[in-house]
Chains A and B, each alone.
Chain A
Amino acid sequence: MNGDENKVEAEGFSLEALQAGDPVEFAHLVDAYSSKIYHLAVKMLNHQQDAEDVLQETFLKAYRGLKSFDGRSKISTWLFRIATNEALMVIRRKHPETVSIDEPVETEEGEQDPVQIVDWCCLPEEELLSEESKEKLDAAVQKLPERLRLVFILRDVNDLSTHETADILGLTDTAVKTRLSRARLRLREELSTYFGERKYELEKGQFTEPSDTTQKSLESRVLKPGKESK
């Protein structure tokens, strides 16, 4: 066994079995990563059918490509790379006008000054992780420009390293760090608008505990049209 195999086996898979086409081991791989890959594609594309196509295509390509997988990266990173490339192809096909992902970072606008200065960290966990909050988190990611969104998803959602992300997107490590910083600051701004209002409402004591009724009532109160636009 060499060091490369160790990397794959450290993730709980037998590279030998995978490369021999063992259906049990392949199903094990699909089971372990299908969810992450599906959500990676949904967040990149914001389109369920396209994401499902990317998911299927990723595992089909992985199955065909396993024999030539050199094991130099983690198998999860390899799968994320295939999925990202598939998603990028969909983006380019559907939006040929899209600016290139690898456009130099220098041409982008710099950091935007923080506007929302409200400390919402003290909100209870069930509030921060409510279904409505999760929808806000997803919506905020969709608002990011593509070149920031892709970096953010790979780094902070799929937990890839700066270098792995740079490698997949064909960027320098510095460009990844800069884009991640800008993406996070924009997301912080978006979330601060939402959670700041939630905090204000909760402090006013109008809503003692979150429920479906209060969530809906709140939504109609605070999510005014235009509030989301930048």
Chain B
Amino acid sequence: MMMESQKKHDHSQCRKLLGSLSAYVDGELDRRLCIELEKHMETCEDCRIVVDTLRKTVYLYHATSQTETIPPDIRTRLYKSLNIEDFLEK
């Protein structure tokens, strides 16, 4: 999937910055590295894609975890085991 233009790209800088990407998508990267990374991404399409898809990856896990529900039978057994089955309907 590597683009033609990227084949000649020197990836030593990308490797160096790889460990900073997670902090970057959280907005927690220190200012100096942040500037360095953003400057790098201006000319490195691969790193920009990795950052965008990394951010989206984190977003998807956040989004799906918000809507997860407990299977009704497991919920019922839990309430019974805790002697609070009177509150099951609530």
A30 lies within 8 A of B53 (CB): no
Give the size category of B's interface with A. 35 or more
Residues of A participating in the B interface, judged by any CB pair closer than 8 Å: 23-24, 26-27, 30-31, 34-36, 38-39, 52, 55-56, 59-60, 63, 110-111, 113-114, 116-121, 128-129, 133-134, 137, 141, 156-159, 177-178, 180-181, 184-185, 187-188, 191-192, 196
A59 lies within 8 A of B82 (CB): yes
A residues in contact with B50, CB < 8 Å: 114, 117, 188
Asked if A24 meets B46 with Cβ closer than 8 Å, knowing A38-B74, A121-B53, A180-B22, the reply is no
Asked if A191 meets B60 with Cβ closer than 8 Å, knowing A23-B84, A114-B46, A119-B53, the reply is yes
Min CB distance B16 to A, Å, is 11
Residues of B participating in the A interface, judged by any CB pair closer than 8 Å: 1-3, 6, 11, 15, 18-19, 21-23, 25, 46, 49-50, 52-54, 56-58, 60-65, 68-70, 74-75, 77-79, 81-84, 86-87, 90
Give the most central of A116, A181, A192: most B CB within 10 Å.
A181
Asked if A60 meets B81 with Cβ closer than 8 Å, knowing A27-B90, A117-B46, the reply is yes
Contact of B60 among A39, A59, A63, A128 (CB under 8 A): A128
At the interface, is chain B mostly helix, strand, loop or mixed?
helix
A178 to B62, CA, bound (A): 19
A116 lies within 8 A of B46 (CB): no
At the interface, is chain A mostly helix, strand, loop or mixed?
helix
A141 to B3, CA, bound (A): 28
Give the most central of B15, B74, B75: most A CB within 10 Å.
B74
Contact of B62 among A30, A118, A159, A187 (CB under 8 A): A159
A119 lies within 8 A of B52 (CB): yes
Contact of B3 among A60, A63, A117, A157 (CB under 8 A): A117
B65 lies within 8 A of A39 (CB): yes
Contact of B87 among A31, A38, A157 (CB under 8 A): A31
Asked if A184 meets B22 with Cβ closer than 8 Å, knowing A30-B79, A129-B63, A157-B65, the reply is yes
Residue of A nearest to B2 (CB): A117
Asked if A30 meets B82 with Cβ closer than 8 Å, knowing A23-B87, A52-B74, the reply is yes
Min CB distance A179 to B, Å, is 10
A60 to B1, CA, bound (A): 51
A56 lies within 8 A of B18 (CB): no
